[in-house]
Amino acid sequence: MGCSNTGRAHLVFVTAFDQYAVRAFEQGALDYLVKPVQLARLAGTVTRVRERLAALQPGVASVALLQELAASLRAAPAAAPPPLRWLRASVGAAMRLIPVDDVDYLKSDDKYTLVAWRDGGKPAEALLRNTLKELLAQLDTQQFQQIHRAVVVNLHAVRQVVRGTHETAELTLKHRPEVLPVSRTFLHLFKAD
């Protein structure tokens, strides 16, 4: 009997009774030798068993390789989803889809977030049912930066940043009259190298 790493046995029957040969092969026997066994026949059977076991080894290695690959994939950090392209906002009784590129800034107020954007070039505002933290995790960090614990700004919408006292600053926008605070924590984003 030979046994592969898969745990599957490869049986060779050696017996004095030839009447059971058909049943042995029906059960998956590799060979059936009748006593007295001739040396040449035994050598041929041993060769076939070795060949069968050797042929199974690459399969076992492939299974081990696949298991290792699956473990690596589970351990690898998930690829980041693509950044948001649209925000869904309630505007009165309507639901609006706001292109992220049109957003000037987001301002948090507890569980809701105010989105300020340009609607056909005109300033517009609406409420989102997302927290600032949830939105920030989904926005493109090359385009949107947090500048205050309650404010995230679209860097493409910034006109200028004016330093204030006590390591703070104020940010003005290109298309809106609002002046947004930049806290000490985020001031480094606007320092010249």
Q: Name the token pair of 186.
A: 């985020």
Cβ(107)–Cβ(135) below 8 Å? no
pTM for this model (two decimals): 0.59
- pLDDT the model gives residue 182: 94
Identify the structural domains of the chain with CATH numbers, from first to last: 2-75 (no CATH), 86-190 (2.40.50.1020)
Strands 9-10 and 158-163: unpaired
pLDDT of residue 41: 80
pLDDT tens profile 1-47: 444 455 567 788 888 777 887 888 888 888 888 887 777 787 788 88
Strands 12-15 and 9-10: unpaired
Q: Is 65 exposed, middle or buried (0-12, 13-18, 19+ CB in 10 A)?
A: exposed
pLDDT at 8: 65
- Token duo for residue 154: 């679209």
Structure confidence by residue, pLDDT tens digits, 92-118: 888 899 999 999 999 998 778 999 999
